[in-house]
Amino acid sequence: MSDPTRATATTAATCRICEGEVTEFLDLGRQPLSDAFPEPARTEGEFFYRLAVGVCADCSMVQLTEEVPREKMFHEDYPYHSSGSSVMREHFSATARGFIEKELTSADPFVVEIGCNDGIMLRTVSEAGVRHLGVEPSGGVAKVAAEAGIRVRNDFFEERTAAEIRAEDGPADVIYAANTLCHIPYMDSILRGIGTLLGPDGVFVFEDPYLGDIVEKTSFDQIYDEHFYFFTARSVAAMAARFGLELVDVRRLTVHGGEVRYTLALAGARTPSPAVAELVAEETERGLGALPTLKAFAANVENIRTELVALLGRLRAEGHSVAAYGATAKSATVTNFCGIGPELVGHVYDTTPAKQNRLSPGAHIPVVSAEEFSRDYPDYALLFAWNHAEEIMRKEREFQENGGKWIFYVPTVHVV
């Protein structure tokens, strides 16, 4: 187990947005790639890095202090599929319908999605006959989208990409990104690309995990290699202004444990919604982005680790069978930070074929098909996919009916 005093470290780094000083407030230790599930016979050579997070004193942007090369995270075998959850399928369908009704109303509208994954949002757009393009760097999911009839460019989005798209397709009415922008450290190139590609009255809409929810729920597992930034309305507004853009709307979302949908436009092109000023004021009142608030969050993270490891150890000592449900990317942070391996959690059930019969990153807990769950229920199931708890517990209701209990660690360690 790692040094419990490390959460109060004060290492300084440089902000990737404004080059201000970043003060580190939480160190989650040596971590593997969160979506790299090794085969049992091929565990040598796993890539590890130091996972730590800090806050910029100038622009209040919370960010990782060490960057993982993008090619290591987003590649041909990237296993996450956005369409895997019925809740997310409906979310993206509703998002697309909203764009069609409110923004894609010109004679020949054009929408670009950054990080389109398997194309779940763009399918609704395509079915409506709207001109579109998905930009997706991970070859496997890009192929799935293309096979579904989505026009896809297998590439990373940046200033160069945006210029090439505009030259070929013209300006975009909507540029959209879901759970993608927070992955990208080189934000200067991204936002210059947005300014290049966006039409005069176009909007750039993105949604990502909200720092306010992470702090409130102590959902520290939202911190992993793919999540480089942790946005607030205040930090997004400051970031946008540096690149000729303006934050004109915000909307709280319940998906993925709590997100905010941010809408940006070219500076002066639209009148900001009152919701922007209201959320900024709320963040100021909460001290969100202030170092004392973030250090208190770090202390809560340490408490959760202590309590979760103690609970799992006690249950195993009492002879109970304990497994986990959902081999999520964020579970890598939990298992490696807390030192949870097969001796505490026998295996992880997951619905993704690409993860099955492999091992969890770093901790090397065996991953098996979710279909095995009902064949031999464990006594306790640690719910890594807690952000889909309602959907999972409804699907697996017989587990509790047969005496099984769910273990949660967000917002506190508790058993249901």
Residue extents of the structural domains in the chain: 4-65, 82-292, 297-415
Distance CA 262, CA 395 (A): 32
Class of domain 297-415: alpha beta
- Residue 137 has what pLDDT? 87
Residue 347: count other Cβ atoms within 10 Å of its Cβ: 18
Distance CA 238, CA 59 (A): 6
What's this model's pTM, rounded to 2 decimal places?
0.89
Q: For residue 67, is it left (φ>0), alpha (ψ between -120 and 50) or beta?
A: beta
- Residue 257 has what pLDDT? 82
Contact between 400 and 378 under an 8 Å Cβ cutoff? The reply is: no
Place of tokens 């890009």: 142
State both tokens at 113.
Answer: 């999605």
- Residue 7 has what pLDDT? 39
Tens digit of pLDDT at every position of the chain (416 positions)? 333 333 333 455 899 999 999 999 999 999 999 989 999 988 888 999 999 999 999 999 999 999 888 777 654 555 555 665 678 889 989 999 999 999 999 999 999 999 998 889 999 999 999 999 999 988 888 899 999 999 999 999 999 999 999 999 999 999 999 999 998 998 999 999 999 999 999 999 999 999 999 999 999 999 999 899 999 999 999 999 999 999 999 999 988 889 999 999 999 999 999 999 999 999 999 999 999 999 999 999 999 999 999 999 999 999 999 999 999 999 999 999 999 999 999 999 999 998 999 999 999 999 999 999 999 999 999 999 999 999 899 999 999 999 999 999 999 999 99
Pick one of 3.30.70.3270, 3.40.50.2300, 3.40.50.150, 3.20.20.140 as the CATH number of 82-292: 3.40.50.150
Taken in order 39, 43, 44, 49, is the CA torsion positive or negative?
A: positive
Contact between 99 and 111 under an 8 Å Cβ cutoff? The reply is: yes
- Residue 83 has what pLDDT? 63
CA dihedral 163, 165, 166, 168 (to 10 degrees): 120
Could you tell me whether strands 172-178 and 348-350 are parallel, antiparallel, or unpaired per DSSP bridges? unpaired
